[in-house]
Amino acid sequence: MANLDLFAAQAGEAALRERLDGLRAQLHTLAHQYYVLDAPTLPDAEYDRLFRELQAIEAAYPEWTTADSPTQRVGGKPLDQFATVRHAVPMLSIRTETDTESTGAQAFDARVRKELELLDTDAPVEYVAELKFDGLAINLRYEHGVLVQAATRGDGEYGEDVTQNIRTVGQIPLRISAVAIPAVLEVRGEVYMRRDDFEALNQKQRDRGEKTFVNPRNAAAGAVRQLDPGIAAQRPLSFYAYGVGEVAPQPVGSLFATHMALLQTLKSWGFPVAEQTRVVRGADELVAFHQSIGSTRDQLPFDIDGVVYKVNSLALQQRLGFVTREPRWAVAHKYPAQEQMTRVLAIDVQVGRTGKLTPVARLEPVFVGGTTVSNATLHNLFEVRKKDVRVGDLVIVRRAGDVIPEVVGRVANADAGGASGDVPRSPYVPNFRLPAQCPVCGSAVVREKGEANHRCVGGLFCSAQRKQAILHFAQRRAVEVEGLGDKLVEQLVDAHVIRTLPDLYRLGFTALASLERMADKSAQNIVDALEKSKQTTLPRFLFGLGIRHVGEATAKELVRHFGSLDAIMDASEEALLQVNDVGPIVAKSLRTFFDQAHNREVVEQLRACGIRWEEGAATSELPKPLAGMTFVLTGTLPTLGRDDAKDKIEAAGGKVSGSVSKKTSYVVAGSEAGSKLTKAQELGVAVLDEAALLEMLK
Indicate which residues carry an active-site annotation.
Answer: 132
Q: Which amino acid is at 371?
A: T
Q: Using alpha carbons only, how large is the chain's radius of gyration in Å? A: 29
Q: Where are the beta strands (DSSP E) in 84-135?
A: 84-86, 96-97, 126-133
Backbone angles phi, psi at 364, to 5 degrees: -65, 125
Contacts of 407 (CB under 8 A, 6+ apart): 344, 361, 376, 377, 378, 387, 389, 395, 396, 397
Backbone angles phi, psi at 12, to 5 degrees: 95, 155
Q: Which amino acid is at 472?
A: H
Beta-ladder partners of 152: 138
Please state, in angstroms and as integers, the Cα–Cα distance from residue 41 to each residue in 30, 31, 177, 374, following that order.
Answer: 7, 10, 19, 46
Beta-ladder partners of 239: 191
Nearest to 433 by CA among 371, 504, 364, 380: 380
Contacts of 35 (CB under 8 A, 6+ apart): 170, 171, 272
Residue ranges of the alpha helices (H) in 332-485? 381-387, 463-474
Which of 159-162's residues contact partners 24+ apart within 8 Å by CB, and which partners? 159/84, 159/85, 159/87, 159/91, 160/82, 160/83, 160/84, 160/85, 160/225, 161/82, 161/83, 161/84, 161/85, 162/82, 162/138, 162/224, 162/225
Task: In whole angstroms, give the CA distance from residue 146 to residue 166.
Answer: 13
First-last CA distance in the chain: 71
Backbone angles phi, psi at 130, to 5 degrees: -130, 170
Contacts of 56 (CB under 8 A, 6+ apart): 1, 4
For the chain, give the number of residues.
698
Contacts of 658 (CB under 8 A, 6+ apart): 632
Task: In whole angstroms, give the CA distance from residue 17 to residue 15.
Answer: 5
Answer positive or negative: Cα dihedral of 655, 661, 666, 672: positive
Which of 599-608's residues contact partners 24+ apart within 8 Å by CB, and which partners? 599/545, 600/569, 602/460, 602/500, 602/501, 602/502, 602/545, 603/545, 603/565, 603/569, 605/500, 605/501, 605/502, 606/501, 606/502, 606/505, 606/541, 608/502
User: What is the β-pairing status of strands 666-669 and 686-688?
Assistant: parallel
